[in-house]
Amino acid sequence: MMGFFRRRNANKNVYKVGEAKDSFVIIGLGNPGEEYVKTRHNMGYRALDILAENVCIDVRKSKFHSLIGQGKMAGKKVVLVKPLTYMNKSGIAARETAMYFDVPSENVIVIYDDVDLPLGSIRIRKAGGAGTHNGMKSVVSELGTKEFARIRIGVGAASGDEELVDRVIGKVPKEEQPILDKTAAAAAAAAEDIVRLGIEKAMSRHNRVGEV
């Protein structure tokens, strides 16, 4: 069953589904702080910043353990969210924002980095598990459902004896930054297309292997 389980009904001991069908919450995962700005783990932030600029939404209001911004896209209300909880507790921001705006889970879009995808690729999925990503584990846990859209940004797997933590928050080679910038822009466009065209058309348009 689709829908964000918003609050418990005291009498029937069930949950009410989010009802704002024309509203979307788009969450870019990342870590706050200058030391994380250009890391692979902050690709969700990077994509959200590009999306915010593209649709002229100012993401600076402090609320829901996040920086948020509100605006319109294709006649629909859009809330852009950058959690400030650090990655492992990103779900708190996702839950609080979705609850407040009464958004069903199918209208929640999470953008994040994925070491299981090739560098420079993106994937849109309608639902699914969290994989090894701690931010997504938190989102799934806090929302209480896997039924929400996600845009995975490929950053490539760790190579040789490279540790996973070094891969995601370590220094990125200068020559790789333009690829990450281009992929972040593609993820921002994908998020916009989900809202404007629907997720099926967005998946058909954007899902592909290799560099964008």
CATH number at residue 138: 3.40.50.1470
Annotated active-site residue in 41, 65, 133, 206: 41
pLDDT of residue 19: 77
Considering the domain boundaries, does residue 179 fall inside one?
Answer: yes
pLDDT of residue 164: 78
pLDDT of 28 > 80? The answer is yes
- Taking only the tens place, the pLDDT of each residue in 51-94 is 999 999 999 999 999 999 999 999 999 999 999 999 999 999 99
Whole-model pTM: value is 0.91
Considering the domain boundaries, does residue 16 fall inside one?
Answer: no
Considering the domain boundaries, does residue 3 fall inside one?
Answer: no
Long-range contacts of 167-170 (CB under 8 A, 24+ apart): 167/40, 167/115, 168/39, 168/40, 168/41, 168/113, 168/115, 169/31, 169/36, 169/39, 169/40, 169/41, 170/39
pLDDT of residue 208: 66
Considering the domain boundaries, does residue 40 fall inside one?
Answer: yes
Considering the domain boundaries, does residue 116 fall inside one?
Answer: yes
Is 133 marked active-site? no
Considering the domain boundaries, does residue 37 fall inside one?
Answer: yes
Provide the number of structural domains found in the chain.
1
Task: Write out the residue range of the structural domain in which residue 145 sits.
Answer: 21-206
Considering the domain boundaries, does residue 72 fall inside one?
Answer: yes
